[in-house]
Amino acid sequence: QVQLVESGGDLVQSGGSLRLSCAVHGRPIQFNNMGWYRQAPGKERDLVADIDSDGFGKYVDSVKGRFTISRDNAKNLLYLIMNNLKPEDTAVYYCNYWPNPFASWGQGTQVTVSS
């Protein structure tokens, strides 16, 4: 049973930065593509960024140049560095596998950006 534990969310002002972490328990992530997803109030959960097993990241257009996804396979951790945050980035952020998020969703971590 894979357990996903996200952390690092906070309330920040527009233009601020955060680093989110995702600890994956129960299965090594070394050979898997992973992703960060987010769900804003009243909206569906969508992919924000994904990273392949070689460490190459891809991003949705709205976060390109501001967010950086990375991974530490030895520690089974996934990270999302978010810079120049905007109010529209406000959401609950989740990690999971990509493209098939087969693990049970964790509780997520709330990111709130004030204008």
Residues 101, 99: Cα–Cα separation, whole Å: 6
Please tell me the predicted confidence (pLDDT) of residue 96.
98
Q: Which of 12, 34, 28 is nearest to 95 (CA)?
A: 34
Give the tens place of pLDDT for each residue, 20-62: 999 999 999 999 999 999 999 999 999 999 999 999 999 999 9
Please tell me the predicted confidence (pLDDT) of residue 45.
97
Quick one: average pLDDT of 61-87? 98
Residues 14, 71: Cα–Cα separation, whole Å: 26
Which value, in Å, is the radius of gyration of the alpha carbons in the chain? 13
Q: How wide is the angle at C-alpha 64 spanned by C-alphas 2 and 51, nearest 5°?
A: 30
Please tell me the predicted confidence (pLDDT) of residue 51.
98
